[in-house]
Amino acid sequence: MFAKEKDMIVETIRLAEEREAARAAYEAENGPKKWGVYLPEEKALNDYLMTLERDVVETLEALMLLGRDNEYRKDGKSPEENYLALKELRYHHHPDQQAAVYYLTGKKPLAQYMEEGLAYLGIVL
């Protein structure tokens, strides 16, 4: 599972971690980040996600949602079955690529959620 997407998942997690560290550093120095302040690390993550195929972005979203909470972890189904059901449920949920990317980048602990989604699926990259 995720053989084709492995490098993209790893890179997204790396960029998300950099973004989260940069935001924490910014807020430690300046207080809460205000609307309109756009850190270079945020731009790097957004730009990278915009280069990916829509299906890959939807894979990243499914991983994030599985890691975020138990809402999509249905009893009586395997983690893989839950992932596939979620992928189908969320297929083209957003009207376009930018909306899908914006949804992902709006999650402050994106890297953590994705890592927890991978752990739920029993996948080590």
Residue 57's alpha-carbon distances to 18, 34, 79, 93, in angstroms, are: 19, 27, 19, 11
In a domain, 88, yes or no: yes
In a domain, 11, yes or no: yes
Whole-number pLDDT of residue 54: 93
In a domain, 65, yes or no: yes
In a domain, 109, yes or no: yes
Tens-digit pLDDT string for the chain (125 aa): 888 999 999 999 999 999 999 999 999 999 999 888 899 999 999 999 999 999 999 999 999 999 998 899 999 999 999 999 999 988 888 999 999 999 999 998 999 999 999 999 999 88
Domain count, the chain: 1
Domain that holds residue 64: 6-121
**Residue 86: how many CA atoms within 13 Å on its side-chain side?**
25
Whole-number pLDDT of residue 123: 93
pTM listed for this prediction? 0.92
In a domain, 1, yes or no: no
In a domain, 105, yes or no: yes
In a domain, 30, yes or no: yes
Alpha helices (H) in 69-96, listed in sequence order: 79-89
Tokens standing for 124?
Answer: 């080590």
Q: Which residue type is seen at 23?
A: R
In a domain, 13, yes or no: yes
Phi-psi region of 71 (alpha: psi -120 to 50; beta: other; left: phi over 0): alpha
